[in-house]
Structure 1
Amino acid sequence: MLPRYYSYTQFEDYLQKILHALNGTVLQDLIIGKSVLQRPIYGLKFGSGKVRVLAWSQMHGNESATTRAICELLKRSDLDYLLEDIELYIIPILNPDGAENWTRVNANNVDLNRDAVLLSQPESIVLRKVCDDFQPHYCFNLHGQRSMYGSLNGSTPAQLSFLAPSGDQKKSLSVARIKAMRVINSINTNLNHRVDGIIGRYKDDFNRNCVGDFMMNSHVPTVLFEAGHSGADYSRDKVSMLVYQALVIALKSVGTNQILDADVVSAYESIPEMSTAYVDILIKNVPTPIGNRHLSIQYHEQVREGELYFIPILIGVNREDVLNGHRVIDLLGHHHFKNDLIVEGSFEIHSESLNIKIFAN
């Protein structure tokens, strides 16, 4: 499996090996457009079934777990059987420049997921052209979420999350939206027992500039996938495999004809909604001259010389909206703490005795 951060050249080499194993064509034949910095954008088509599914990943360059999941899907020995009823079109990385630089935005500093209407960027135009030409029956919009998401009460992190986007301001329950809900319900039913945290549900406020909302507004059932976080899985290896399993379930789901009824909506709405109640490290009861305080620490991700580093940053003190951490340290009765907690002017925070420091992954 690819690491969490990889250069675009590494991705191209890895993809070429997968395609070679599939006896596929060379990469030069698969270029469907270019990024702002003229990096190639690849489009892959598999299967010849009646149900057309379009999936795109890494439109936010620093969200690689779903791309890694796609690579796992393409390595399946029974891919032809899985796609017996499906024609699958995949754009593994829509934002090559963002992927290379580990940024959410593209090289013009534009969030591609807010460019569905304007189509101001070459990457957005590529995606729209594929949609228009391929005419998908379903879209899978693949993303990764930050480690701040968890259950509303803060008890459990969100390791996977999904959304059947609204297609209008009224959040209407159109046929397309209910179809997307059915796919998500299938994933939740079959995968819920395998996650360390929860499978969460995103809020469905409508924004036509977002690609998923735009597609649903165009009556194309669209499923938003979000690779989340749990525990110490900063490599996102576990969650990448969960996304891979979710993709398999979703593809099986769209390949079957099931009745759409009210139970689909109620089952979807039973998936727990999320909050941004988590931090990476929550240090409780830090002694200060004005009393004990709780410190909220979030990792800032930064690529240096081809490696992804996680830098602990103090983002708040006694924040009421922070309910939990992927790592919780209570200094009351903590026998190993040597009073060596240092907060730099940049808000980087370090402690050897608490093992809080910059690390690479």
Structure 2
Amino acid sequence: MNKSSYKTLMQNYSAIKVSGFNDRYLGYEQLKDYLDNNVFPFYSHRVIGQSELKRSIYEVNIGKGANKILIWSQMHGNETTTTKALLDFLNYINLNKNTSFVKALIVKCTIKIIPMLNPDGATVYNRLNAHNKDLNRDAIKQSQSETKAFFKVLNDFEPDYCFNMHGQRTLFSAGKADYPATLSFLSPSIDDDRSVTPTRKVGMQLISAAYEMLQDFIPNQIGRYDDAYNPNCFGDYIQSKDVPTVLFEAGHYQNDYRRNKTRQFVFLSLLKMLDVISGGELSKYNYKTYFDIPMNQKLYYDCIISGAENLYPNDVGIVYKEQLAEESVQFKPVIDALKPLNHFYSHRFIEAKQNKLTINSQSDIKIGDTIEQLRIADQEFDLNV
């Protein structure tokens, strides 16, 4: 697809976006209901295994081409943005099956999607599975039923490419500048030396293609995820087996705590990489462009309050803790730092102007306090998302 095609997709995204998934929560029952009614009637699919609590883990298949691509999401149950983007992708393919792009994709690629690898964690909006294990640290031991199901698919399918899809917190900036890392990418390392192997270069080329395309949408809001080697992680493990692997990290876009804007950029990036693969255009992209992407930095707070008379010279750094309540994610503001924060950024900034600050009617402010009420002098501030 050409440059204008991606702009058109973004402008008309409401026609692609799957409705009913606007909250950060996306649980197993929600997903299963959607798959049963809107995906399974149109796509080849099967159950690849069971979670530790015996919930089914599904795969959805597209195409019968020579390029084999394995995509998985929500191995961390509370990282839902990429799952929603994958549902949008499936909807897009179904709606556009008669277009030249989709026809070429189906002929040249076989795409296998595992939309929710951790259904137990997803149900309770938890990163971990039912045994409190991080699946993304289980690549070597393969001790959990979810991990065993995944690696059976991997070994049977023998993919040419893997896309490992995640979400990241609001604290990340794209480099050291005042821009949030709305999307971050990683071509994982295969050793402690972070060697740039031919396999790793392929991941870098795919990321470079997405990075160049995204310049029209979020030019300063793309980061490069930390590539420290951990053989227990899926991406590092798979890349070390000579399968090019790309890690997606869906992050924060301005005033988009539900991440419905971010999901659009995930979708566009996925589409671009698949376009490059199906079109045989990998050689057009220089892997060295990958190193132009700024490294993620942990430089953001959700809110910073500066200049409070009773706290000088300290600032207040506030982060939102995510809590599930009645199948909706609530964002609770919590005090995370009491120190000068002049070298940090914030998604919201409040200047106290040397007035007295009280939190929960108290001037004794402590790290870890959840904020129910925030007042500066006689003005009350609403921190609800």
Instruction: Confirm or deny a common fold (TM above 0.5).
Output: yes
Question: For the structure 1 residues 196 and 11, does the alpha-carbon distance in structure 2 shift closer, same or farther, using more than 3 Å as the test?
Answer: farther
Q: Which residue of 2 aligns with 1:315?
A: 336
Secondary structure of the structure 1 residue equivalent to 2:142: coil
Partners of 1:340 and 1:260 in 2: CA distance: 59
Secondary structure of the structure 2 residue equivalent to 1:232: coil
Question: 1:298 Cα shift?
Answer: 0.4
1:56 aligns with 2:72: yes
Partners of 1:222 and 1:345 in 2: CA distance: 39
Q: Which residue of 2 aligns with 1:4?
A: 24
Question: For the structure 1 residues 355 and 16, does the alpha-carbon distance in structure 2 shift closer, same or farther, using more than 3 Å as the test?
Answer: farther
1:265 aligns with 2:312: no
Secondary structure of the structure 2 residue equivalent to 1:248: helix
- 1:143-222 paired onto structure 2 within 5 Å: 143-195=166-218, 197-222=220-245
1:78 is aligned, of 79, 85, 96, to 96
Q: Which residue of 2 aligns with 1:331?
A: 352
* 1:72-114 Cα shifts (integer Å, max 9, x gaps): 0000122542333110000000000111111111111111111
CA contact (8 A) 2:184 2:225 kept: yes
Secondary structure of the structure 1 residue equivalent to 2:307: strand
1:278 aligns with 2:300: yes
Question: 1:306 Cα shift?
Answer: 1.8
CA contact (8 A) 2:276 2:282 kept: no
Letter of the 2:26 partner, please give it: Y
Partners of 2:340 and 2:204 in 1: CA distance: 35
How many residue pairs were aligned? 350
Secondary structure of the structure 2 residue equivalent to 1:103: coil
Partners of 1:204 and 1:107 in 2: CA distance: 28
Letter of the 2:344 partner, please give it: L
Secondary structure of the structure 1 residue equivalent to 2:271: helix
Letter of the 1:278 partner, please give it: Y
Question: For the structure 1 residues 225 and 53, does the alpha-carbon distance in structure 2 shift closer, same or farther, using more than 3 Å as the test?
Answer: same
Amino-acid identity (%): 35
- 1:127-138 paired onto structure 2 within 5 Å: 127-138=150-161
* 1:3-58 Cα shifts (integer Å, max 9, x gaps): 321331111111222225x5346xxx621111111111001111011100000000
CA contact (8 A) 1:70 1:92 kept: yes
Partners of 2:200 and 2:146 in 1: CA distance: 26
1:109 aligns with 2:135: no
CA contact (8 A) 2:335 2:370 kept: yes
Secondary structure of the structure 1 residue equivalent to 2:162: strand
1:302 aligns with 2:328: no
1:347 is aligned, of 361, 369, 375, to 369
Unaligned runs of 5+ in 2: 1-18
Unaligned runs of 5+ in 1: none
Please identify, of 195-204 and 304-313, the stretch whose mean Cα deviation from structure 2 is larger: 195-204
CA contact (8 A) 2:135 2:144 kept: yes
Letter of the 1:287 partner, please give it: E
Partners of 1:321 and 1:132 in 2: CA distance: 50
Question: For the structure 1 residues 155 and 13, does the alpha-carbon distance in structure 2 shift closer, same or farther, using more than 3 Å as the test?
Answer: same
1:17 aligns with 2:37: yes
Partners of 1:226 and 1:273 in 2: CA distance: 13
Q: What is the TM-score of this pair, normalised by structure 1?
A: 0.91
Letter of the 1:12 partner, please give it: K
* 1:275-323 Cα shifts (integer Å, max 9, x gaps): 00001111111221x6242110000001012221110000011255961
Partners of 1:101 and 1:196 in 2: CA distance: 35
Question: 1:258 Cα shift?
Answer: 4.1
Secondary structure of the structure 2 residue equivalent to 1:156: coil
Partners of 2:380 and 2:298 in 1: CA distance: 25
CA contact (8 A) 1:55 1:89 kept: yes
Q: Which residue of 1 aligns with 2:57?
A: 41
Partners of 2:339 and 2:215 in 1: CA distance: 33
Question: For the structure 1 residues 197 and 12, does the alpha-carbon distance in structure 2 shift closer, same or farther, using more than 3 Å as the test?
Answer: farther
Partners of 2:82 and 2:59 in 1: CA distance: 15
CA contact (8 A) 2:309 2:357 kept: no
Question: For the structure 1 residues 104 and 141, does the alpha-carbon distance in structure 2 shift closer, same or farther, using more than 3 Å as the test?
Answer: same
Letter of the 1:19 partner, please give it: V
Partners of 1:330 and 1:86 in 2: CA distance: 54
Question: For the structure 1 residues 53 and 141, does the alpha-carbon distance in structure 2 shift closer, same or farther, using more than 3 Å as the test?
Answer: same
Question: For the structure 1 residues 319 and 62, does the alpha-carbon distance in structure 2 shift closer, same or farther, using more than 3 Å as the test?
Answer: farther
Partners of 2:227 and 2:303 in 1: CA distance: 29
Letter of the 1:60 partner, please give it: H
Partners of 1:265 and 1:50 in 2: CA distance: 23
Question: For the structure 1 residues 303 and 322, does the alpha-carbon distance in structure 2 shift closer, same or farther, using more than 3 Å as the test?
Answer: farther
Secondary structure of the structure 1 residue equivalent to 2:82: helix
Question: 1:339 Cα shift?
Answer: 4.6
Secondary structure of the structure 2 residue equivalent to 1:302: strand
CA contact (8 A) 1:178 1:260 kept: no
Partners of 2:315 and 2:220 in 1: CA distance: 24
